[in-house]
Chain A
Amino acid sequence: MSNVHIEEEALEEIIGGEYEREPVPKNALKGPKSFWGMYAGEHAAGTEFMIGPLFLAAGASLKDLMFGLLLGNILAVLTWRYLVVPIAMNRRLTLYYQLEKIAGGNMVKFYNVTNGILFCFLAGAMITVSASAIGVPFDIRFEVPEATFGLSGAAFSAIVMIVGLVIAAVAVGGYQRVAHFSNISAPWMILVFAICGVVSLAQMDAHSFERLETIWNEGVAFVQNTNGKESFGFWKIVIFAWLCNAAMHFGMADLSIFRFSASKSAGWAPSVGMFLGHYMAWICAALMLAAVIATQPSATMNAAGKVQADPGFLAWNALGWTGIICVVIAGWTTANPTIYRAGLAFQSLFPNQHRATGVILAGIVATIAGVFPNLSAQLLGFVGTYGMILGPMGAIIFVNHYLAKRLGFLEDPAVAKKSSFNLAVLLAWLIPAVPGLWLILSKGVFAAYLVIPAWIASAILYVIFGKLMFSNKNQA
C-alpha cells in the first residue's frame, strides 16, 4: 500500500521546501505525464507482500477479491480526481500550509506528530517484512504470536533490530540516495510482483480459472480450519481498497502533490498506482500463499499450528533469491523515506535540535514497532485506522473550501484571527476520531468501515463549531 506516497520528486517538493508557504506559480506547474510517471512507481511497496496474502488468510473468495478490488480502486481514483484535485488546483498549497491557515501552527504540529507516529508503525511493518526475507537464508522464520505485543523468536527480533537501525542510519543521511535507488528498482519490482503470480500459478498447476478457484477455495478452507472462521466479503474488500489510502485522498495529503497539476486530468494518475500495486500486486502476493498452501501446507504454519503469511518465505518459495531481494528492497525503499518523514514531523517539536534527532527517534520507534510481528499481521486493520484518524482533517479542509463562506463563517480562520490553535478544528477532528479508535481497539470494528462516518461527522462538527466560534456576524 503503501501506501504511503514515496517518490523522489514529490518528496523533494513536499519536504524540501519548494513553494512550501506560497501557492505554486504557473511556471512551476506540471503536465499530467509527470503524475502518471510518479504514481506508476508507487504502491508497489514491501507491505503489498503482506497485505495480499492476508486477504486469503481472512477468507476472501477469489471472485470477490478480483471484483471487489476493481470497484474499490475505481472509487479511490474517483475520490482523488473529484475531491482532492479541484481543491489542490484552486488553492495550490501544501496540505500543511493549508491546514496551518485553517487550524494554526500549533495545531498543525499536533497533527504532524500524530502523522509521524502512524508513519512509524507503517515503517515498522515494512521493517518486519524486510526482516522476514533476510531471515529465510538463515532458516530464521518470523512467527506471529497471539498477543498484539508478543515477540517472535529472539533471532528474528535481532534481525528486525539490525534492519531497523540500518534503515534509520541511512535515513539520517537524507532520502535522496534511497529515493534514487527506489526509482531504479521500480520497473524491475513491478515485474517481479507480476511474475510472483505467474510462478504461483505454475506451482499450483492452475492452467484454468476454474482450477485456480478450486485451489483458492481449498486454501481458504485450510486457513479457516486451522485459524478459525473469518469472513472478508465483497463489500468489505471494496471498502478496504477504496479507503486504505484514505489519508491521501479523503485526508487530502495529496494536496501537496496535485498543487503542481496544470490539468485536472492529472487526477486520473493514481489509477496506475492503484491497479499495479493495489490490484495486480495484491492478487499476485495472495497467489503466493495459495501456492504454498497447495504444495506444502505445513510450511505456512507457525509453532502454535496456525497459518500465517510470512512474506519473505512466500517470495523465496516463488522466486528464490530474486524474491528475497525484492522483498528486502521493497521494504527498505519504502521504510526509509517513511522514517525520514516521520522524523521531520517529530522535529517540528524540537526546532532547535539537529534534523537527525527526529529521524533517529522515528527510527527507534519504527524498529520497536517492527519487533512485534502481530502489528504487521494486522496491517489490514492498521491502514484503515490510519485513514480513520487522518481522514477527518480532509473533511475540515473540504468544509473550509466549499462551505465556510456560504454558511456564514470564516474561511482560513487561523489567518483571519491570527490564531496559532483553532479549537474548532481540534474538536471536529477528535470528537469522531477518538470514539472511532475506541471502536476499533476495544470492539474490533473493521477500521475502514469508520473512515467515511468519521469524515462526515468531522465535516458536520466543523460547520457547527465554525458557526459558533467564528461566524462572520461575530466578526462584523
Chain B
Amino acid sequence: MKTLIAIAKPVSWASLLLIVVPPLLNFNGSIDSSLMNQLLLAGTVIWFVTASLWMKSE
C-alpha cells in the first residue's frame, strides 16, 4: 500500500496539469474544445482515483 500511495501522490498532482494546461492551450488556439474536454475529463478521473488513495491516509 505504501508503494501505491508513493506513486499515487505525484500522479494525482500531475493530473491537475490536465485540468490547467488544456484550457490554456485552447485559449491560445492550439487545441480544439473537444480535445480539451477529453483531457479535462481524463484529469478529473485520474485526480479522484489517485487522490482518494493518499488523501485518506494523511
Contact = CB atoms under 8 A, between A and B. Distances in A.
B27 A202 contact: yes
Contacts of B52: 184
Contact of A202 (B23, B44, B47, B51): B23
A319 interface: yes
B57 to A, nearest CB: 11
A113 interface: no
Contacts of B16: 187-188, 191
Nearest to B34: A320
A195 B23 contact: yes
B17 to A, nearest CB: 10
Interface in A233-274: none
Given A191-B20, A195-B20, A320 B27 contact: no
Interface string B32-58: 010011001101100110011001100
For the residues of B in contact with A, the DSSP-based class is helix
Given A320-B37, A321-B41, A188 B19 contact: yes
Contacts of A322: 19, 37, 40-41, 43-44
A188 B44 contact: yes
A185 B41 CA distance: 14
A188 B48 contact: yes
Interface residues of B, number: 20
Nearest to A207: B27
B6 interface: no
B41 A184 contact: no
Contact of B26 (A184, A199, A325): A199
A180 interface: yes
B19 A195 contact: yes
A182 B46 CA distance: 16
A199 B24 CA distance: 8
Given A199-B33, A320-B40, A191 B19 contact: yes
Interface in A177-235: 180, 183-185, 187-188, 191-192, 194-195, 198-199, 201-203
Contact of B36 (A187, A192, A199): A199
A184 B24 contact: no
Contact of A198 (B23, B43, B47): B23
Given A185-B48, A187-B16, A198 B37 contact: no
For the residues of A in contact with B, the DSSP-based class is helix
B50 to A, nearest CB: 10
A199 to B, nearest CB: 5
Contacts of B19: 188, 191-192, 195, 322
A192 B47 CA distance: 12
Contacts of B48: 184-185, 188
Nearest to B27: A202
A319 B39 CA distance: 10
Nearest to B36: A199
Contact of A320 (B20, B41, B51, B56): B41
B37 A321 contact: yes
Contacts of B41: 320-322
Contacts of A202: 23, 26-27, 33
Interface in A322-340: 322, 325
B47 A319 contact: no
A187 B15 CA distance: 11
Nearest to A202: B27
Contacts of B43: 322
Nearest to A326: B44
Nearest to A325: B44
A199 B20 CA distance: 11
Contacts of A319: 37, 40
A198 B40 contact: no
Nearest to B19: A191
Nearest to A316: B37
A322 B22 CA distance: 13
B55 A183 contact: yes
Nearest to A321: B41
Q: Which 4 A-B pairs have the closest CB atoms?
A: A320-B37, A322-B40, A195-B23, A198-B23
Interface of A: 180, 183-185, 187-188, 191-192, 194-195, 198-199, 201-203, 319-322, 325
5 contacts: A191-B16, A195-B20, A199-B23, A199-B26, A201-B27
Given A195-B40, A202-B27, 20 more contacts: A180-B55, A183-B55, A184-B48, A184-B51, A184-B55, A187-B16, A188-B16, A188-B51, A191-B19, A194-B20, A195-B20, A198-B23, A198-B26, A199-B23, A199-B27, A199-B36, A202-B23, A202-B26, A322-B44, A325-B44
